[in-house]
A and B are shown apart, each in its own frame.
Chain A
Amino acid sequence: QSVLTQPPSVSGAPGQRVTISCTGSSSNIGARYDVQWYQQLPGTAPKLLIYGNSNRPSGVPDRFSGSKSGTSASLAITGLQAEDEADYYCQSYDSSLSGYVFGTGTTVTVL
């Protein structure tokens, strides 16, 4: 079950900026738990893209940025590239479940 809601898909032309929203509740994002973002390329395991709401692990391009406000978070991709076509998932901790929760996932398509 996913308690974090994302749009099923977003698309953009190369070079454009796209954003993906992640909407939670007062027991997860709104409870000040951090949000992580993962990128899953076709046929591969997810890869950590953003941690602690807005931090990039070493090696992740600065085209990817994250933010959080209230009960929602967002991932932005600027200067969209063909290699960014993938599924993206947000993740946080939920106090009512006493465990981790993922978003429903968003497929990014480069037109």
Chain B
Amino acid sequence: QVQLHESGPGLVKPSQTLSLTCTVSGASISSGNFQWSWIRQPAGKGLEWIGLIYTSGSTSYNPSLNGRVTISIGTSKNQFSLKLTSVTAADTAVYYCTRVNGFRRDSDYWGRGTLVTVSS
């Protein structure tokens, strides 16, 4: 059974960098036709795709985030991370990591999500 778990600070100050890690169990993030993505959801609002990383290490990001996003493979073997720079209150949201099935382009496994609040 594939499981994903998000972790990181729940509070970030404005203008600072939001950093989250997704730990994956039950699957290897370096093999198979899968991608690993981040999605966020502000309270009471819809889902927004942030970006993803391929098993090759290539990345794709939502252009609306204006180059503030970096997704990378973590230092531990089965982790990937999200960094979002120059955060504002508009970046306050629940952040989810997911596995994307490369054939079907769907997110077939999701983490439970972690709330990140941007506030001084």
Q: Which residues of A contact B (CB under 8 A)?
A: 1-2, 33-34, 36, 38, 44-48, 51-52, 57, 89, 91, 93, 97-105
- Chain B residues touching A, majority SS: strand
- For the side of the interface on B, what is the size category? 20 to 34
What 0/1 readout, one digit per residue, does chain B (88-120) give for beta carbons within 8 Å of chain A? 000000001000010011111011110000000
Whether B31 is near chain A, meaning CB under 8 Å from some CB there, is: no
Whether B62 is near chain A, meaning CB under 8 Å from some CB there, is: yes
Whether B47 is near chain A, meaning CB under 8 Å from some CB there, is: yes
Q: Is the CB of A100 within 8 A of B108?
A: no
Whether B67 is near chain A, meaning CB under 8 Å from some CB there, is: no
B61: A residues at CB distance < 8 A: 99
Q: For A46, A52, A98, A101, which residue has the most chain B Cβ atoms within 10 angstroms?
A: A46
Distance (Å) between the CB of B7 and the closest chain A CB?
15
Q: Which residues of B contact A (CB under 8 A)?
A: 37, 39, 46-49, 51-52, 60-64, 96, 101, 104-108, 110-113
B113: A residues at CB distance < 8 A: 45
Distance (Å) between the CB of A4 and the closest chain B CB?
10
Q: Is the CB of B105 within 8 A of A45?
A: no
B106: A residues at CB distance < 8 A: 34, 36, 48, 51-52, 91
Distance (Å) between the CB of A33 and the closest chain B CB?
7
A47: B residues at CB distance < 8 A: 110
Closest to A87 in B: B46
The complex places the Cα of A99 from the Cα of B71 at a distance, in Å, of 14
Q: Is the CB of B49 within 8 A of A51?
A: no
Closest to A105 in B: B46
Q: Which one, B62, B107, B108, contacts A97 given CB within 8 A?
A: B62
The complex places the Cα of A64 from the Cα of B62 at a distance, in Å, of 30
The complex places the Cα of A21 from the Cα of B106 at a distance, in Å, of 18
Q: Is the CB of A45 within 8 A of B62?
A: no
Distance (Å) between the CB of A52 and the closest chain B CB?
5
Closest to B64 in A: A1
Distance (Å) between the CB of A66 and the closest chain B CB?
11
B52: A residues at CB distance < 8 A: 100
